[in-house]
């Protein structure tokens, strides 16, 4: 057990070093490729793999501070006790899913949603299991998903924002029952993960690429983060956010992200959106997390920049990754919405298992009773 924990610690520490982004943040956003005679996107690192665009916050912590933080969190003995009303009873959750309108979203916890739009269903960042880490070692959920991996319904599309264990659950992907009929849309480099597990319909996207079918458009968009599941794959696959569009509605899914100038560009090119599903948790200590995770206040800023009419906070209340109070993010999220003039009523969170039906004609959205 000690050897296994040591391996996980080393793995997580190696991944954490990817937070040290390219220091040349004032470079042009495009660099020329002399062999192809056309520009190469800046986020394609010339050294191999990928990197964030210029204009992002840098980590302000030493490797020693990083190591201590990871040790503290990995071996933390402080349990999280969720309030009784944080999770819907399973029967209520299933009833809400069955009665859901289209468009709507159901929160399965963390960054995992069932999104209904354009008469289709989309599963985002499936983390259904109990542990975010290899070999069953790592941070553990303190509330269970309302659905097990083999209870996941058939969906039209699975999207994954990046390859971290708390967003890409190998057990869920292995045990999903409808591999042959589901389309997978992932950032560059992640296709093989699904193909090895029996998914025949997989497309890899660079930022700004789109996939379309029967009135649904899925567009892969920038985010500010990093990737890696082990010691030797740092930033070898891309990370992303996504836009889901029908003829009438649009939803933006942030994936895992920090703040950055790119969200203004997303707003100009792809906005506005009816709803943003935006990450609001895992933001302390700020010197470390500022480069990979938005604070609740930054999440409101991001929602405003992409042009979202309303926002639902995610990436909180499910698994302990960082030391802030697990139930602080929603409080700060709504307060920030009020302070920034976004409207407290336009920033909300869901209970795990709860379904939110998107409104029509600018009427308030409602949870399914």
pLDDT, position 135: 83
In-domain check, residue 215: yes
> Residue 106's pLDDT band (boundaries 50, 70, 90)?
very high
pLDDT, position 76: 63
Least confident of 32-36, 143-147, 209-213, 265-269: 32-36
In-domain check, residue 2: no
DSSP code, position 147: S
User: With helix as H, strand as E and coil as C, how does 231-282 read?
Assistant: CCCCCCCCCCEEEEECCCCEEEECCCCCCECHHHHHHHHHCCECEEEEECCC
pLDDT, position 33: 41
pLDDT, position 20: 33
pLDDT, position 60: 76
In-domain check, residue 50: no
Tens of pLDDT along 88-98? Answer: 999 999 999 99
pLDDT, position 69: 75
Q: Using CB atoms within 10 A of its CB, is residue 214 exposed (0-12), middle (13-18) or buried (19+)?
A: exposed
> Residue 74's pLDDT band (boundaries 50, 70, 90)?
low
pLDDT, position 136: 83
In-domain check, residue 135: yes
The half-sphere exposure of 140 on its side-chain side, counting CA atoms within 13 A, is 12
In-domain check, residue 61: no
**Whole-model pTM over 0.85:** yes
In-domain check, residue 172: yes
What is the percent of the chain where pLDDT is above 70? 85
What is the domain count for the chain? 1
pLDDT, position 79: 82
* CATH code (residue 279): 3.60.15.10
Overall average pLDDT of the 103-113 stretch: 98
For residue 151, is pLDDT > 60?
yes
Q: Which residue has the tokens 């969170």?
A: 349
Tens of pLDDT along 38-60? Answer: 688 999 999 999 999 988 888 77
In-domain check, residue 49: no
Contact 18, 11 (CB under 8 A): no
Tens of pLDDT along 161-199? Answer: 999 999 999 999 999 999 999 999 999 999 999 999 999
Overall average pLDDT of the 241-254 stretch: 97
Range of 148's domain?
84-362
In-domain check, residue 12: no
Contact 170, 198 (CB under 8 A): no
């Amino acid at each position: 057990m000690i050897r296994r924990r040591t391996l996980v610690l080393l793995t997580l520490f190696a991944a954490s070093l990817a937070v040290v982004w390219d220091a040349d943040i004032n470079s042009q956003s495009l660099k020329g490729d002399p062999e192809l005679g056309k520009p190469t996107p800046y986020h394609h690192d010339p050294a191999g793999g990928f990197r964030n665009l210029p204009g992002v916050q840098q980590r302000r912590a030493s490797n020693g501070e990083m190591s201590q933080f990871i040790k503290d969190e990995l071996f933390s003995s402080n349990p999280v006790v969720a309030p009784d009303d944080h999770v819907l009873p399973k029967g209520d959750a299933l009833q809400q899913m069955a009665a859901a309108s289209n468009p709507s979203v159901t929160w399965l916890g963390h960054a995992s949603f069932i999104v209904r739009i354009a008469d289709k269903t989309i599963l985002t960042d499936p983390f259904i299991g109990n542990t975010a880490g290899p070999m069953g070692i790592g941070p553990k959920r303190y509330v269970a998903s309302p659905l097990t991996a083999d209870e996941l319904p058939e969906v039209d599309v699975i999207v994954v924002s990046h390859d971290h264990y708390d967003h890409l659950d190998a057990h869920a992907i292995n045990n999903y029952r409808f591999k042959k009929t589901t389309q997978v849309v992932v950032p560059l480099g992640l296709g093989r993960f699904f193909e090895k597990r029996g998914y025949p319909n997989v497309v890899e996207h660079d930022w700004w690429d789109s996939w379309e079918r029967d009135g649904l458009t899925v567009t892969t968009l920038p985010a500010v983060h990093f990737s890696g599941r082990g010691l030797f794959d740092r930033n070898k696959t891309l990370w992303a956010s996504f836009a889901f569009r029908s003829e009438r509605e649009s939803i933006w899914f942030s994936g895992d992200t920090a703040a950055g100038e790119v969200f203004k560009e997303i707003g100009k090119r792809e906005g506005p959106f009816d709803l943003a599903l935006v990450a609001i948790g895992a933001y302390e200590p700020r010197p470390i997390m500022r480069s990979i995770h938005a604070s609740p206040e930054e999440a409101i800023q991001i929602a405003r920049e992409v042009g979202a009419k309303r926002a639902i906070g995610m990436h909180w209340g499910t698994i302990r990754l960082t030391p802030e109070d697990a139930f602080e993010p929603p409080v700060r999220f709504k307060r920030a919405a009020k302070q920034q003039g976004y409207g407290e009523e336009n920033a909300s969170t869901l209970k795990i298992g709860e379904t939110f039906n998107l409104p029509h004609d600018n009427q308030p959205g409602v949870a399914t009773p």
